[in-house]
Structure 1
């Protein structure tokens, strides 16, 4: 079973964006600590979601405009 190069690139970009999102959540949790969900941690989660959306939008734009 052969997979086209474009499919592999799209999968890699998507996996990298998801890994970035999970990394931001994990690092944010480690920095803040194991305390109760605070306002600062809430901002971290919202920032991670915004970063994830922007990265996915950028990846989608990149993949949609690249020439075959």
Structure 2
């Protein structure tokens, strides 16, 4: 089975984005944990991590769409 260059690049970019998102979510939850609860600041940080993930995936999708393979 032959995987094209474009498909491989999409897989790698998506995998990297997911790993970065999970690691940032774990980091935020560990940093802002207070008495087994997430502090309000941690909630904002988690929302920011989700927002950055969405922005990164959008930018990556636009970049991939404009590439000539």
Q: Same fold (TM over 0.5)?
A: yes
Query: Could you say which structure has the higher strand fraction?
Result: 2
1:3 is paired with a residue whose SS is coil
Where has structure 1 moved over 2 Å in runs of 4 or more? none
Cα distance in structure 1, aligned partners of 2:39 and 2:30: 13
After TM superposition, the score normalised by the length of structure 2 is 0.88
Number of equivalences: 68
Cα shift readout 1:1-46 (whole Å, capped 9, x = no counterpart): 1111110100000111111111110111222235312201111110
The CA RMSD over aligned residues, in Å, is 1.2
Residue number in structure 2 paired with 1:4 = 4
Residue number in structure 1 paired with 2:13 = 13
Residue number in structure 2 paired with 1:25 = 25
Cα distance in structure 2, aligned partners of 1:61 and 1:52: 14
After TM superposition, the score normalised by the length of structure 1 is 0.89
In structure 2, the gaps of 5 or more residues are: none
In structure 1, the gaps of 5 or more residues are: none
